[in-house]
Structure 1
Amino acid sequence: MPAPKKSTSKTAPAIAPASAPVSPAAVPQRRSTDDPVQSLQQAILRNLTSALARDRVTAKPRDWWIATSLAVREQILTRLIKTQGVHNKENVRRLYYLSLEYLMGRLFENNLYNTGLYDEARTALKDLGVDWESVRESEVDMGLGNGGLGRLAACFLDSLATLDFPAIGYGIHYEFGLFKQEFVHGHQVEHPDNWMIFGTPWEVVRPEYTTDVKIYGRVENVFDNNGNSHPRWTDTKTILGVPYDIPIAGYGTATVNLLRLWASRSTEEFDLVAFNSGGYVDAVREKAIGETVSKVLYPNDKTENGKELRLVQQYFFVSCSLRDIIRRHFRHEGNSWENFDDKVAVQLNDTHPAVAVAELLRILLDEHNFAWEKAWSIVTNTFGYTNHTLLPEALEKWGVPLFTRVLPRHTQIVYEINRRLMEVVEAKWPGDNKKKAILSLVEEGGAKAFRMANLAVVGSHAVNGVAALHTELLKKDLFPDFDNLYPGKFQNKTNGITPRRWLLDCNPRLTKLITEKLGSPTIWARDLDVLRGLEKFADDKAFQKEFMAIKRANKQDLATVIKADCGVDVSPDALFDVQIKRLHEYKRQHLNLLHILTLYRRLLQNPSLDIVPRVFVFGAKAAPGYDLAKNIIRAINVIGDRINKDDRINGKLKVAFLPNYRVSLAEKIIPASDLSEQISTAGKEASGTGNMKLALNGSLTIGTLDGANVEIGEEVGDDNIFIFGLKVPDVEKLDAEGYNPWNYYGADDELRAIVDWLGSDYFTPGESHAFGALHHSLLDGGDPYKVLADYRSYVQAQEKVDAAYRDTSRWAKMAILNTARVGKFSSDRTIREYAKDIWSLPSVAI
């Protein structure tokens, strides 16, 4: 393996802005013929001409981005071929990661860092007279994911390759991402996210591995030559799955793994007869239907057609992936079904791929004539399942009629799995029909539905939660009977983030400072616990000054983005209070809003009130059909606009809701954050990973004891985090006693005034019920996420934040210790635990 480079840190000064653009006509510096910069420069120019038909005079920034990406891709693909050659020759055990989402963001700088070519690329382009910033900003975010689930999958791919674990990710090659978000009069407006309109230089299409996927049809019994009947799935429709490969380069290693994404294509491309008869629409109807499957991430499932498309999507990518896994296994002449689960580990990332349990079983039973017991043994030894939610309503279910229409044979298989499961339950708890109802794969009472989480639990040899608290609650509250039925099956794997993207890449100024103190990133970016070495500088006044100067420079950069995207002027000397995550009631952006209103009201009543100036930064998308979440977005925008324009408060409060939150925007917000809002209702957030990214970049957490906040507090220390609010037992007690938000509303004068203010037409003159849905949810709607119960504790914790921020030395020390002490939350640690405890996966050095 080639020796890692001594440093891949960015070359910009610690607090300096990007350098001014250089004329494209500048003459490159002469370098020796074996200079890697010159070699890369030549590759860039070659691709500029041969792939894009451009020269240096006519090339635009996007052309330079593509040409540079293709030059880097050449080296990545060379490493990929070598990696796959070694894996195939050694017949290694592989992990196959099934996820409906991969929130990859941009790959340009990430790939440059991971290949050790970052400095060479910057120098090569500089010598060609090309502005670096304009090149890097030419790349659009890949529209392959939505929230934490997809970003976790992306971090895991990075760590798997970095740690030399043989692995392939599988997903869907979405033509359109979730949506592009715009705000119109405060309202969220969704536009298509056509991220693939001009393609991407990072992928390679593999048409030779196109796979047939069968759906719909019916099941009939046929008899073999011995007079035995067998089910046969017939009269099906077929769509094609075409694989697109995105190479995943490890950092400081030669390993390159794969992300394989499936695009749907119709088997009926074009009806020439219909076309010639004038039926132009009919001529392409079947083609359009076939390609719809991979058209868009998360089609709206408010309609039956939307639900059906989601189910077809899930089965499509699962079927393609399992076929590909089986093909890979059997291309090695020494392999058979007898050693399939010795060579193959499949991880289900949430319930979206859970139908894989039934599909692999179907393949074994129907296509390879296995007896049930043997087939089931292979299935359960192959699969592991990661649960990502504590919300019962978020556990995926499919109505039996819909499931039967789309997958009739799988319906039979799920029922048979359930029949056998009920026999096991009866043996353990004789006559206990309540236990059977809880554990059954089939939800009875009203419309029948298949419980996909139950199927994933039963069909896997290991089930894991994603934070210590989450796993404890999984076993205690969500799946206690399954934990009893399968002792030892449930385990914890606390989430993590890749330090390559979430420090090395997104915060070059802090990277430079850390490198000066602790040495090359090839050490600490591969072993994040090395950051503990920063603890000795936490009280060093000079280091504190450098650390906070970097934070201020990052805040200045974000202030520029806020001005461009929101039209709001903000000061980098204010406290930047950040909440960036999916918009959902349990994440409680509306609790944050109540605090903003509290400060605003206090300032209106006392303009000379001495508070630390704050900039409240939001980034969030609400699901298109989630009306209350969209109402919360509008409330934040409309109230924020009023606050931003109110001269009476002297600019002490500013609110910026940045539109179209995405990975590349997070990379600008996170390094600039002072305060990280992690304020979900205790017991509702499985883990969170934004909390980890923000803490790593020196942002202090204000949060409840929920998800991974608990473990972050344990790592950074009670003095370096702001914890407030109800704990899980408190929430459970309130629910048991009958929670009544009116009690809190009536007992707290300030809270009552704020809630009434929110429910009035003060912020929307002439529109008295503008925030009616939000106001109703807090009172008459029962306040399901205990916003009013936690309000006073939250406000008091924010007052502690205000006091701490005034003490610049204290705040700097707290921020430094947050960066120094969150090494546990590297996704490298998480992946090592998965590899050891669930996948039994050895690493293979290339």
Structure 2
Amino acid sequence: MNQEPSPASFDQEREHTRTGMSKASLKRDFLDNLFYIQGRFREVATPHDLYMAAAYTTRDRLLARWVKSAQDFKTTHARTVCYLSAEFLLGPHLANNLVNLGIAETSTEAAEELDLDLNAIIEEEEEPGLGNGGLGRLAACFMDSLSTLQIPSIGYGIRYEFGIFDQMIENGWQVEKSDTWLRNGNPWEIPRPKIRFPVMYGGHTEQYRDHDGRPRTRWVPDLVIDGVAYDTPILGYGVGNVNLLRLWKAEASESFDFQAFNVGDYYGAVHAKIEAETISKVLYPNDEPEAGKELRLKQQFFFVSCSVQDMIRLQFNTVGPLETLADKFVAQLNDTHPALAVAELMRLLMDEHDMEWDQAWDITHRVFCYTNHTLLPEALETWSVSLFERLLPRHLEIVYAINQRFLDQVRVRFLGDEDRVRRMSLIAEDGERRVRMAHLAVVGSRAVNGVAELHSELVKTTLFRDFHELWPDRFHNVTNGVTPRRFMVVANPRLTRLITETCGSDAWIRDLDRLRELEAHATDPGLHERWHEVKIAAKRDLSAWLKHRTGVLLDPEAMFDVQAKRIHEYKRQHLNVLHIVRCYQRIKQNPNHDMVPRAFVFGGKAAPGYFMAKLIIKLINAIAEVVNKDPQVNGFIRVVFMPDFNVKNGQRLYPAANLSEQISLAGKEASGTGNMKFSMNGALTIGTLDGANVEIREEVGAENFFLFGMSAEEVNRRQHQGYRPWELYRGDPELRSDIDLINSGLFSHGDTQLFRPLTDQLVNQDPFMVLADYRAYLTCHDHVAEVYRDHHRWTRMSILNVARMGKFSSDRAIREYAERIWQVEPHPVGGG
């Protein structure tokens, strides 16, 4: 693998001045970078100047390791994992890189000696807007673990100029603001203008015969743009290995059309540049309108075409013949967004490198593996055949050819079962003909995995049942994980220090199973007291930040009851809301009601076009407005919506939570990773048997998990029997009272219609069975309150939750991928 920076050696003085880890070296190099890169001296430097100087000082120390890693991987022909993902929600780099370099404490001391506040400098960093949520955050965790486990890898994605929107709350409603994360520059990336590939769209195909008389196909496009590489080094924790995140930016092949300009067509002169750059301009447009669908398909093909072409380039530069491509590279498709890579590699091997179908298919099938992330049928990507044909005519031919060969195989295996053939086809024929991207990914990959035990089982028995019956050995489970470096060490340094002191070393940071050593201290009163102090300190920090951002002051002594994730009906934030309304009514009806004080904290973004999700945000804020101003109530409960939930704000939230709400309808959440982050930081979980909740409960112990609600089997059975939510509404006086209170206008300044779309759907359809789990949820919350009153019991449960979270490190997940799916070995690079 050629990871580009490759000077043969370093001048000794340069080595010393730019890579030294001592406090003196850090101070000197910081001031040098402030002067020579930012052009500032200390007295006039802005906070942004200070951040940039700190970032370049840190990056200098990454680059030496990056060069060494790239040279080593190239000369040894190291087998390499290519992780193809439309999103990489990295989070801020500076603090994480200081931790992984092992110089966080030294840097803090160096900053203090320069009369600087390192935490304030870290706060200046803009979060890279390269992902929407869990899928992109998982990809970022996996990149961290791949480097930490010393597995050579390249992450491939898109360098979005405008990331996921910044969320503002105005009059209780979500308002989207452009995320201009690149406006002040990105010190962590290195442009590679010479690494660029043509990406073609539209046009037509032509049949011809090559010089040997063999039939061939030529694609004649009507639009060609360039994909240009931007590289970011990804350092492992405590090792010399640095892997590569390569993101692609779209550029016009020729930025300015002089012929158009000369005839007075000023718009046409720059039109190609504008059209090209649109492709990497914005993260995931709203794909409801046809133009949005087209742009999204263009984006997906853009980054997989660049990535596959880059893999072939690297193959030629290192190993040599394309016949051994699958020995050099294994490529993981992170959901269906990169599934076009299957057809694109086939096209390149056949059309550009003259391979016959069987050989090209053998290589392609051995290169790719596919991770499924959703059980929701509406979330499985399909593209209309007409759009696909217009944008990618050659790829539609290849998909048809793959499908023909595949369905012939199905017909032989399942004689006479044409209904099965119809279900398994890569082309959906019911209604508008559509290309099923998940089917393309399954057929084109040698391994398919789900992301939690329950999810993987449902993938086999429901979503891809026909495929599992055909190829049972192709399906696997790899439960998701998150990196403890960011979500414990960076996010919660107080807890990190306490765990390290208690366990006697920091070995747990690389081997999370070592947290089990905490179990021996779980009943220690001294640890209980310090554990409580750490949690209270985090709650004070969050409370101060929320007061500044929202004006709502939370009592750090109250239970922080937190639900932070994308706003979606299946995640059931509205079930949480109904519990808050019930608490409110109980206090109003009985002022002497003995209640554990609670701070209900919500965070999450709704998709811009998702009306019901945005209405849920409005309802949360509307209830907060009433509750927080009511003196009869606000001493017991307060409600706050954390604006602009992202990685950076998540790092404030996870350490402060007492209770983690993981209440999606069983069978709907693939895994979840927020559930892991909260538990790693000592929050207890109230949750359903959904996604990774099942395994979290198994690991921490049923007695340390607040379980409620139906199982996936019970949900399925009840839906088949005919679910009638209005009967629950009529039959439960408290539930009816809670919904009626929302409809009364109390929370909407007398407007009795504002929340009707939400409440009417609950009563009449309730697709995610909120009302069915309502009573069990309330009963479970009463139990939560009872346990919280017992300070020592709660603290012991919190300690045991942390102690038993080893399974949910992304290091374990990557180790399982490497051994069971990728067949790759660690490749240590010196210098760690």
- Give the TM-score, by structure 1 length: 0.95
Equivalent position amino acid for 2:630 in 1: D
SS of alignment partner, residue 556 of structure 2: coil
Q: Does 1:753 align with 2:752?
A: no
Shift of 1:35: 7.5
RMSD in angstroms over aligned alpha carbons? 1.3
Counterpart position of 2:3: none
1:722-748 superposed Cα distances (whole Å, 9 cap, x missing partner): 000000111011111011101211111
1:182-207 superposed Cα distances (whole Å, 9 cap, x missing partner): 11111111010000111111010011
Counterpart position of 2:476: 491
C-alpha spacing 1:152/1:35, structure 2 compared with 1 (3 Å): closer
Q: Does 1:818 align with 2:804?
A: no
Counterpart position of 2:766: 783
Partners of 1:423 and 1:370 in 2: CA distance: 22
Counterpart position of 1:414: 399
Q: Does 1:294 align with 2:277?
A: no
2:444 to 456, 459, 470: 459
Shift of 1:273: 4.9
Counterpart position of 2:623: 639
1:671-717 superposed Cα distances (whole Å, 9 cap, x missing partner): 00000000000000000100001001000000000000010001110
C-alpha spacing 1:228/1:375, structure 2 compared with 1 (3 Å): closer
1:629-648 superposed Cα distances (whole Å, 9 cap, x missing partner): 11111111111111111112
Greater Cα shift, 263-272 or 207-216: 263-272
1:378-426 superposed Cα distances (whole Å, 9 cap, x missing partner): 1111000000001111110000000010000000010111111110110
1:323-350 superposed Cα distances (whole Å, 9 cap, x missing partner): 1111111112x43122111111000000
Counterpart position of 2:6: none
What does 1:300-699 correspond to in 2, within 5 Å?
300-332=286-318, 334-521=319-506, 523-699=507-683
Equivalent position amino acid for 1:345 in 2: V
Greater Cα shift, 684-693 or 281-290: 281-290
1:277-336 superposed Cα distances (whole Å, 9 cap, x missing partner): 65443332211110000001001111100000000000000000001111111112x431
Do the aligned partners of 2:165 and 2:179 also contact (CA within 8 Å) in 1? yes
Partners of 2:211 and 2:244 in 1: CA distance: 44
Shift of 1:274: 4.3
Partners of 2:259 and 2:368 in 1: CA distance: 47
SS of alignment partner, residue 640 of structure 2: strand
Partners of 1:274 and 1:368 in 2: CA distance: 36
Counterpart position of 1:707: 691
Do the aligned partners of 2:89 and 2:139 also contact (CA within 8 Å) in 1? yes
Partners of 2:104 and 2:525 in 1: CA distance: 32
% identity of equivalent residues: 51
SS of alignment partner, residue 824 of structure 1: helix
- Contiguous gaps of at least 5 residues in structure 1: 1-30
Do the aligned partners of 2:312 and 2:322 also contact (CA within 8 Å) in 1? no
Counterpart position of 1:251: 237
Shift of 1:649: 1.3
What does 1:824-839 correspond to in 2, within 5 Å?
824-839=807-822
SS of alignment partner, residue 712 of structure 1: helix
Q: Does 1:213 align with 2:211?
A: no
Greater Cα shift, 262-271 or 185-194: 262-271
Partners of 2:272 and 2:691 in 1: CA distance: 46
C-alpha spacing 1:749/1:35, structure 2 compared with 1 (3 Å): closer
Counterpart position of 1:737: 721
Partners of 2:242 and 2:147 in 1: CA distance: 6
Shift of 1:373: 1.3
C-alpha spacing 1:756/1:74, structure 2 compared with 1 (3 Å): same
Shift of 1:650: 4.2
Partners of 1:160 and 1:487 in 2: CA distance: 28
Partners of 1:644 and 1:555 in 2: CA distance: 18
Counterpart position of 1:92: 78
Shift of 1:622: 0.4
Counterpart position of 1:5: none
Partners of 2:419 and 2:163 in 1: CA distance: 42
Partners of 1:711 and 1:690 in 2: CA distance: 14
Counterpart position of 2:788: 805
Counterpart position of 1:200: 186
Equivalent position amino acid for 1:122 in 2: T
1:86-137 superposed Cα distances (whole Å, 9 cap, x missing partner): 1101001000000000111101100000011212211211111112222111
Shift of 1:365: 1.4
Counterpart position of 1:763: 747
SS of alignment partner, residue 638 of structure 2: strand
Equivalent position amino acid for 1:549 in 2: E
Equivalent position amino acid for 1:422 in 2: L
Partners of 2:746 and 2:719 in 1: CA distance: 33
Counterpart position of 2:828: 845
Do the aligned partners of 2:34 and 2:50 also contact (CA within 8 Å) in 1? yes
1:415-441 superposed Cα distances (whole Å, 9 cap, x missing partner): 111111110110011121110111000
Greater Cα shift, 808-817 or 759-768: 759-768
Give the total of aligned pairs.
812
Partners of 1:371 and 1:487 in 2: CA distance: 28
Equivalent position amino acid for 1:642 in 2: V
Partners of 1:35 and 1:571 in 2: CA distance: 41
Equivalent position amino acid for 2:647 in 1: V
Shift of 1:838: 0.6
Equivalent position amino acid for 2:168 in 1: E
Equivalent position amino acid for 2:387 in 1: L
SS of alignment partner, residue 682 of structure 2: coil
Partners of 1:554 and 1:458 in 2: CA distance: 48
Equivalent position amino acid for 1:738 in 2: G
Shift of 1:275: 4.3
2:253 to 260, 267, 278: 267
Q: Which runs of 4+ in 1 moved over 4 A?
A: 225-228, 273-279
Greater Cα shift, 394-403 or 647-656: 647-656
Shift of 1:231: 1.8
Do the aligned partners of 2:201 and 2:221 also contact (CA within 8 Å) in 1? no
Equivalent position amino acid for 2:782 in 1: E
1:283 to 253, 264, 269: 269
Do the aligned partners of 2:200 and 2:221 also contact (CA within 8 Å) in 1? no
Partners of 1:626 and 1:42 in 2: CA distance: 51
Partners of 1:736 and 1:113 in 2: CA distance: 52
Partners of 2:684 and 2:259 in 1: CA distance: 66
1:585-628 superposed Cα distances (whole Å, 9 cap, x missing partner): 11000000000001001111111211001001111100011111
- Contiguous gaps of at least 5 residues in structure 2: 1-16
C-alpha spacing 1:181/1:35, structure 2 compared with 1 (3 Å): closer
Partners of 1:779 and 1:432 in 2: CA distance: 41
Partners of 2:162 and 2:643 in 1: CA distance: 18
Greater Cα shift, 334-343 or 619-628: 334-343
C-alpha spacing 1:56/1:567, structure 2 compared with 1 (3 Å): same
Partners of 1:181 and 1:252 in 2: CA distance: 36
- Give the TM-score, by structure 2 length: 0.96
